[in-house]
Amino acid sequence: MRIDQDIKLDYDDVLIRPKRSTLRSRGDVTLAREFRFPHSNKTWQGVPIIVANMDAIATVSMAKIMTQNKMMVAMSKYLSPEDFTKVDSNYNFFTIGIRDEDYEKLSAAANHAEINYICIDAANAYTERFVEVVKQVRDNYPEAVIMAGNVVTGEMTEELILAGADIVKIGVGPGSACLTRRVAGVGYPQLSAVIECADAAHGLKGLICADGGLKSSGDFAKAFGAGADFVMSGSMFAGHDESEMKIIERNSKKYLPYYGSSSDKAIKKHYGEDGKKNYRASEGRELLLEYKGPVQHTITELLGGIRSACTYVGAEKLKELSKRTTFIRVNRQLNTIHQGKEE
Ligand code: 5GP
C-alpha cells in the first residue's frame, strides 16, 4: 500500500484569478477552435463542447441543435445505425463499448452511414482489452478521429494515444449521476486529472476531453483553463425538450429524468431485467431534473459564461485561456454552488 500525499483538486477547490486585459467586451472573444489530430489527418473547427453519450441527452434532436451551434454530441451507443444517418457526421461521434457486438455494430453502421468520429467508451479504460479495441478500431478506421476513455492518469493517457486515440476522455467518478466514488471507492479529483492528463497528451500531440462533474459555465471555464481541449457534460444538457423523454409532473412542477449509463434503470432498459448479472453493483443513479425548456437557451448562457471568463483573464480566443489561467485555491464550502431553490 502507498499513499500519494500530493494535494489533488476538484473544480470547487479553485477560482480563476482575474488579470489585466485589453478586451473591451465579451463579444470580442472567439470560442471556436481548430484542431489537428495525432492520428487522423482530419481537421475540426467548432466550439469544443460535447454532449455526453447518455440516454436522456444524446438524441437526434440534441445533435441537430448542437450542430447548429458548431458543438458536438457523442451519440448514444444504443442509437440505431439508421438514426446515425440523420445526424451530421462531422459533429457527432458514433459511440461503441468494448464488447464484440459493439465492434460489429460499428462495422455494420459504416456500411450505411459516413462515420468520421468514433467514441470508444468504457467506465474503466485501464484494461488490456480496452487498449486492444482502440488498436483494432485505429487499424480499421485509419481516417477516423477516435476519442477513447475514461482514464485519469498521465501514463494511461499516453498509452491510449500511442494505441491510436486522438482524444482521451478524462474522468473517473466526477459525474453527477455517477456512484463510482461511493460504490467502489475509486476516483480522482477532476481538475487535477485534467491538468495532469492534458500535459501528458499534449506532449504526444494528442488531445483530451474533460468528462463530467461540471455544474456551471464557470466549471467549463475552469476545465478549459486547466488544459482541456474538449469538455463533455451530461447534466448541463439534461432536462430539456431535446431529451425526447416524457415530462413528469409533481406538485405542479415539471421534471425530466436523467440517469447514469450504469444505473439500474439504464441496465434494465438496454439489457433486460437480469442484465445486471449477479456480480455487478450499480455505479449510476437516477435523478429528476427540473424541466428547463429548449436547450438553446442553456447553450447561449453557457457560452456567455465561458466568454466572460476569457474576458476576465484577457484571452481573446478560447485557445489562450489555459495560458492565461492562474488558479487560486479557495475554501470549497464557499465555492460550492448551492442547489437550493431561489425565490
Ligand atoms: P455529468 O455531466 O452528469 O456530471 O457527467 C456525465 C458523465 O458521467 C458521462 O459523460 C460519463 O462519463 C459519466 N457517467 C454517466 N453515467 C454514469 C454511470 O452510470 N456511472 C458512472 N460511474 N459514470 C457515469
**Rounded (to 5) percent helix, strand, coil in the chain:** 35, 20, 45
Bridge partners (DSSP) listed for residue 15: 328
User: pLDDT tens across 294-324, in order?
Assistant: 999 999 999 999 999 999 999 999 999 999 9
In the predicted model, is pLDDT for residue 107 greater than 90?
A: yes
Do residues 213 and 233 touch, judged by C-beta distance below 8 A? no
Question: CB atoms < 10 A from the CB of 90, how many?
Answer: 16
pTM of the model: 0.96
- The residue contributing the CA closest to ligand 1 atom 17 is 260
343 pLDDT tier (thresholds 50, 70, 90): very low
CA of 111 to the centre of ligand 1 (A): 30
> Cell numbers of 140, please?
480499421
CA of 223 to the centre of ligand 1 (A): 16
Mean pLDDT of the chain: 94
Mean pLDDT of 272-290: 82
Question: CB atoms < 10 A from the CB of 221, how many?
Answer: 27
Q: If you count them, how many residues does the chain have?
A: 343
In the predicted model, is pLDDT for residue 244 greater than 70?
A: yes
- The Cα–Cα gap between 126 and 182 comes to 19
CA of 236 to the centre of ligand 1 (A): 12
Bridge partners (DSSP) listed for residue 168: 148, 208
In the predicted model, is pLDDT for residue 340 greater than 60?
A: no
Annotation marks residue 30 as catalytic: no
In the predicted model, is pLDDT for residue 255 greater than 70?
A: yes
For a pocket test of ligand 1, which of 261, 263, 264, 339 has the largest count of ligand atoms closer than 8 A to its C-beta? 261
For a pocket test of ligand 1, which of 11, 49, 54, 215 has the largest count of ligand atoms closer than 8 A to its C-beta? 54
Q: Which residues line ligand 1 (CB under 6 A)?
A: 52, 54, 123, 150, 171, 175-178, 180, 211-214, 232-235, 260-263, 283-284
Annotation marks residue 178 as catalytic: yes
Residues 6+ apart with CB under 8 A from 273: none
- The residue contributing the CA closest to ligand 1 atom 13 is 175
- Look at residues 189, 182, 115 and name the one whose alpha carbon lies nearest to residue 152: 189
3-state secondary structure of 164: coil
CA of 260 to the centre of ligand 1 (A): 6
- The Cα–Cα gap between 45 and 247 comes to 35
- The Cα–Cα gap between 76 and 71 comes to 16
> Cell numbers of 266, please?
439504464
Half-sphere exposure of 294 (CA within 13 A, CB side): 7
Among the atoms of ligand 1, which is closest to the Cα of residue 149? 12
